[in-house]
Amino acid sequence: MTKISDFIGKNARLNVQEAISRAKDKEEYHALLSLTEERALERADAVDRGEITGRLAGVPFVVKDNFLAYGAPTTAASKMLETFNAPLQATAVEKLELEGAICIGKANLDAFAHGGSTENSAFGPTKNAYDKSRVAGGSSGGSAVVTALDIVPFALGSDTGGSIRQPASFNGVIGVKPTYGTVSRYGVVAMASSTDTIGAFATNVADAELVMDIMAGKDDKDMTTLPDFFTPSPAKPSLKVGLIKETMTDDVDPEVKQATLQYIEHLKAAGHTVDEVTLPIVKYALAMYYIIVPAEVSSNLARYDGIRYGHRAGDVRTLAELYGKSRDEGFMTENKRRIMIGSYVLSSGFFDAYYLQAQKARTLLVNEFNKLFENYDVLIGPTTPTPAFGLGENTADPIKMYLADIMTVPASLAGLPAISVPAGNSESGLPIGVQLVGQRRSDATLLALAKSLEEL
Amino acid sequence: MTQISRDDVLHLAQLSSLALADDEIDGLRVDIGNILNYIQQLGELDTSGIEPTYQVTDLQNVWRDDVIDDYGIDREALLALAPESQNGQIKVPKVL
Across B1-96, where does the E strand assignment appear? 85-86, 89-90
End-to-end, the C-alpha distance of chain B in Å comes to 42
Selection from A81, A172, A60, A136 nearest residue B81 by Cα: A81
Which residues on A lie below 8 Å from B77 (Cβ)? 87
Model confidence at A129, in pLDDT bands (50, 70, 90)? very high
pLDDT higher than threshold 80 for residue A455: no
Q: What is the pLDDT of residues A385-409, one digit of tens each?
A: 999 999 999 999 998 888 889 999 9
Distance of CA A429 to the CA centre of its chain: 23
Find the closest chain A residue to B55 by CA distance. Answer: A194
C-beta atoms of B57 and A226 within 8 A: yes
C-beta atoms of B56 and A343 within 8 A: no
Picking from A339, A398, A413, the nearest residue to B18 by CB comes out as A339
Model confidence at A445, in pLDDT bands (50, 70, 90)? very high
Which residues on A lie below 8 Å from B40 (Cβ)? 287
CA gap B48, A356 in Å, rounded? 12
**What's chain A's average pLDDT?**
97
A315 class by beta-carbon count within 10 Å (0-12 exposed, 13-18 middle, 19+ buried): exposed
Residue ranges and CATH numbers for the domains of chain A are 1-456 (3.90.1300.10)
Q: Tell me whether strands A32-35 and A154-159 are parallel, antiparallel or unpaired.
A: unpaired
pLDDT at B94: 82
ipTM: 0.96
Which residues on A lie below 8 Å from B94 (Cβ)? 318-319
A88 class by beta-carbon count within 10 Å (0-12 exposed, 13-18 middle, 19+ buried): middle
| Phi, psi torsion values for A422, nearest 5 degrees | -65, 140
Query: Per-domain residue ranges for chain B?
Result: 6-44
pLDDT higher than threshold 80 for residue A456: no
A373: amino acid identity, one letter:
F
Report the phi/psi class of residue A293: left, alpha or beta, with left for phi > 0 and alpha for psi in -120 to 50.
alpha
> What share of chain A in percent tops pLDDT 90?
97
Model confidence at B1, in pLDDT bands (50, 70, 90)? low
CA gap A387, A134 in Å, rounded? 10
CA gap A397, A394 in Å, rounded? 6
User: Is B25 an 8 Å CB contact of chain A?
Assistant: no
Eight-class DSSP state of A236:
P
pLDDT at B57: 92
Q: Coil, strand or helix: which one is A421?
A: strand
pLDDT at B93: 86
Mean pLDDT of B65-86: 92
Q: What is the pLDDT of residues A163-185, one digit of tens each?
A: 999 999 999 999 999 999 999 99
pLDDT at B2: 74
CA gap B96, B90 in Å, rounded? 17
Q: Tell me whether strands A240-244 and A273-277 are parallel, antiparallel or unpaired.
A: parallel
Q: Tell me whether strands A60-64 and A102-107 are parallel, antiparallel or unpaired.
A: parallel
C-beta atoms of B38 and A287 within 8 A: yes
Upper half-sphere CA count for residue A103 (Cβ side, 13 Å): 29
Upper half-sphere CA count for residue A444 (Cβ side, 13 Å): 12
Question: Which A residues 207-266 touch B at CB under 8 Å?
Answer: 220-221, 223-224, 226
User: Is B28 an 8 Å CB contact of chain A?
Assistant: yes
The total number of residues written for chain A in this structure: 456
pLDDT higher than threshold 80 for residue B67: yes
The H or E element that residue A453 is part of is helix A443-454
Report the phi/psi class of residue A217: left, alpha or beta, with left for phi > 0 and alpha for psi in -120 to 50.
left
Q: What is the pLDDT of residues A45-76, one digit of tens each?
A: 999 999 999 999 999 999 999 999 999 999 99
Using an 8 Å Cβ cutoff, are B26 and B6 in contact?
A: yes
CA gap A284, A246 in Å, rounded? 11
Mean pLDDT of B41-58: 96
Model confidence at A311, in pLDDT bands (50, 70, 90)? very high
Question: Which B residues 52-91 touch A at CB under 8 Å?
Answer: 52-57, 59, 62, 64, 71-73, 77-78, 81-84, 90
CA gap B90, A436 in Å, rounded? 49
Eight-class DSSP state of A352:
I
C-beta atoms of A305 and B17 within 8 A: yes
pLDDT at B81: 96
Interior/surface letters B60-88, b for 16+ CB within 10 angstroms, e for the rest: eeeeeeeeeeeeeeeeeeeeebbbeeeee
Which residues on A lie below 8 Å from B50 (Cβ)? 360, 363-364
> What share of chain B in percent tops pLDDT 90?
83
Using an 8 Å Cβ cutoff, are A424 and A430 in contact?
A: no
pLDDT higher than threshold 70 for residue B74: yes
* Shortest CA gap B45–chain A (Å): 7
Mean pLDDT of A15-35: 98
Using an 8 Å Cβ cutoff, are A285 and A368 in contact?
A: no
